[in-house]
A and B are shown apart, each in its own frame.
Chain A
Amino acid sequence: MGADPASRHVGWVPAPRQGWVAPHIASEFPGLGIAWVEVDAKPGRSPEPVRRRLRDLSDRTYGSQAIRLRERPIPWAYRVFFRQIGLDPDRTRTPVEQLTLDRLHDGGFVSHGLPRDALDIAIVETGVALRAFDAEQVEGRLCIRDSAPGESLAGAPGEMAKGTLVIADERRPLGLLFGPLAEDVGIERSSRRIAVAAVQVKGVPQIAVEEALWMAGSTLEAA
């Protein structure tokens, strides 16, 4: 592997760290992966440059693009993956489709503060699915795996059905893949270090994943 990836920096942002996928899941879904960056940042109101960027993005996003979105390679790749894991992408929207629909509904990308604005910008620009975790609550490397019998998400009622696909750290599941997070790993007012994770599926190029993480990470670092 060479040097510790955490010690390398691309601009202000650490180079992405590569998570792992359980081998039997990887053999079912070639191209599935997870990568993340950790940045020192705290949640709060977005500074003016971030809000301006959201406004610029709103001006560049039209209804016609929303209709054609599912034909573009990266949004299409996520739609296909949703179908393959049993989700209906017209109900459980892919992140980029959800944001585009919200933009049409609200008349613009509404600022929700950091880190969400940083993720929204990166998702709309690249199409890559991103999640944010409180990095202090994450232990070791992130991974995508299926749930074991008896496992549950912190704060969620009941156990997860066996075989549910989750994002996990080395200790426990952090959230459903493209679903809700455990209650104690989300970003809170007290969070001081944020992990931004990108879920890569077949058809999403590595360069797009790196760009998305860099974009979200640098926006958070600069704020």
Chain B
Amino acid sequence: MDGRVDPGGGVTTLSGMPSLLDRHELLGLGVADEREARLQLRAQIGRLEAELAELFAEAFGHTEVPHAVAAGSAAPRVLDLGELEAVRDDLADRVAEAREALVERRRVEDGNRELVERMLAAPRDYKWVRVSRQDLGLHGCGHWHSRPRLGPIGMLMGWWRVKISSGCPLPGRLAAVDR
């Protein structure tokens, strides 16, 4: 032990201790630089905002995701540490809630997808059940509908099938409804 940090041996000498303590202080155990902390919080707000924007866009049209974060101030100003923390925490909550809403939505869509598969395999077991493309998270119009062949005769005979609708109504047909 020569009073210096041993570079290769991994042994911390007594003279190495003060520098270790200094480093810990800089890392926040001691005097924290408030401005540096605010910069860190602003960077975190930026990352969370990007994440929330991505989740918002992904969920749009499929499910509602909570994305509102109350304003910290009525007029633009430099927020203090506590206010920045509040914005950061609110954003983090919204991101977590949005993720949860999306996971829940996917679970429902997966369930509906399985339901359609079961309906196609055994239409008779799912009489009159109707699942739309939206229920599966798909765009456009259309649905899967379990209904009897030949109307009442099919009902009596137990001839059931899944009818897949032909998509969105044509503009001409919509115009005819208006007339």
Contacts and interface: CB of A to CB of B under 8 A. Distances in A.
A161 B84 contact: no
Interface string B15-46: 00000000000000000000100110010011
A146 B84 CA distance: 18
A165 B77 contact: yes
B141 interface: no
Contacts, number: 90
Interface string A58-71: 00000000011011
Nearest to A91: B71
Contact of A83 (B54, B56, B77, B91): B91
A52 to B, nearest CB: 28
Contacts of B109: none
Interface size class of B (residues with CB under 8 A): 20 to 34
B114 interface: no
Interface stretch (A127-135, A171-179, A184-192): A171-179
A7 interface: no
B49 interface: yes
A92 B35 contact: no
B78 A67 contact: no
Interface of B: 35, 38-39, 42, 45-46, 49-50, 53-54, 56-57, 60, 67-79, 83-84, 87, 91
